[in-house]
Amino acid sequence: MKLKKLLKQCLSSGCSGTIRFVHEGRRGSMHLRDGQLLHAELGGAEGEVALFQMLEVPEATVVYDTVSEVAPATVYRTVEELLGVTVKKASPPRGLFVPPHYGELVTALAQAESVILLSHIRPDGDAYGSTLGLGLSLLALGKRVRIFNRDGLNSLYRFLPRAELIERTPARLPEADLLVALDTSTEERLGLGDSLRPAVSVSVDWNIDHHASNTGYGRRQFVDPSQPAVAGVVTDLIAEARWPLTAEVATALYVGLLTDTGSFRYRGTSPHTFDQAALLVAKGADPAELAKQCYQNISVARFKLQQRALANLQFEFGGALTHTTLTPADFTESGALVEDTEGIVETGLAISGTELAALFELKDDGGLKVSLRSKGRVNVSELALEFDGGGHPGAAGIGFKTDGAAARERVLARLRKEFV
């Protein structure tokens, strides 16, 4: 399918959402709202550079032709400016639909009396912050809310308000009017296993996310890749619905924003992100205290694990590629937990001249977890997708259940190709 033709159809019909495609091994996406283009990505390029590359693509395979909701953002081109023509209103191209806006999600949550909130395995600050922030706001509305995560509460985030609400996922999920997943790109990463509700053919009612690699699972999706954190999506949702934004809610959401943007350093952090942060601070989030809790509050065991990771750090291609490996023995001897690896891969990326950093975690059961970070030259989300992983252009991950050592060598060989 010609991308220019597809884009023209989508814009002229007023489509909203995200279209994903692949051309000669390069993955790209276009984010639209009400017939206007918000953002474009192709390979490592973004914005107008990516857009004009797309318009030159003769044919592309549309791998996700079902659009997902995209929240309001800055429109940098109109239909006429993009295509140099005046287009008439038309029906959406076959296979596409106009998705629900915030209104439908607000209505669904408002009408539900009981809600279960879930997030991904190996949870981070955004997983905890977004679920807790939304959960506390819904509780203030009088809803019955349960917050589950397969791995329970990471000790690093015990400082979060009402953190005791985060429970380890039970063998069977209780009944609820709505089952909502947040910050989770694939249903498998929820780690539900046998806890799926047996009476429901589709387990998740609403899939709220910001990963461009989201697979579109669930009955309804609200996926906004323009947001650097799901905490931002929830902040906008609460503001749109005019639901309670208490100091506790603001604190949880601010932690999500702070951690998933790398303290507002990562690509994707926008003026709107700072507007969200300003709102949350105005509502009671304490930036200095939360930065201290997130970044100056590690255990001795966690510090010892970091020491081991740094001691194992390898430099290749003049330091452009850095990687380190942690073994089960490293965890045992340091006394650290798997959650203590958070932030280690960023240390390798902080070195001057490094473009791509990787952390390999070999598991007791023979599996492997890979964390990838990039300064922009390499799109690690695309790279991770080659191994059924996913994430963002600057931060992504991959998981292998078996043959961890061999998988490490395969991934490492692929990383090296970026510099040959």
CA distances 371 to 15, 113, 227, 397, Å, are 35, 38, 21, 5
Q: In terms of domains, do 249 and 320 share one?
A: no
pLDDT for position 213: 77
The candidate with the shortest Cα–Cα distance to 220, out of 206, 234, 209, is 206
pLDDT for position 391: 81
Q: How far is residue 160's CA from residue 294's CA, in Å, rounded to a whole number?
A: 10
Quickly list H helices, 193-299. Answer: 230-241, 247-260, 271-282, 287-295
Q: Is residue 174 part of a domain?
A: yes
Radius of gyration of the chain (CA): 21
Q: In terms of domains, do 241 and 371 share one?
A: no
Q: Is residue 90 part of a domain?
A: no
The CATH number for 314's domain is 3.10.310.30
The CATH number for 290's domain is 3.90.1640.10
**How confident is the prediction along the chain (420 residues), in pLDDT tens digits per residue?**
567 777 776 666 666 666 766 666 667 777 766 666 766 777 767 666 677 777 777 666 554 333 433 333 333 344 344 444 443 433 333 332 233 467 889 999 999 999 999 999 999 999 999 999 999 999 999 999 999 999 999 989 999 999 999 999 998 899 999 999 999 988 888 988 644 444 333 479 999 998 877 888 888 888 888 889 999 999 999 998 999 999 999 999 999 999 999 899 887 888 889 999 999 999 999 999 999 999 998 899 999 999 999 999 999 999 999 999 999 999 999 999 988 998 899 999 999 999 999 999 999 999 999 999 999 889 998 899 899 888 888 888 999 999 999 999 999 999 999 998
pLDDT for position 18: 67
Structurally, the chain folds into a number of domains equal to 3
pLDDT for position 194: 46
185, 390 Cβ separation under 8 angstroms: yes
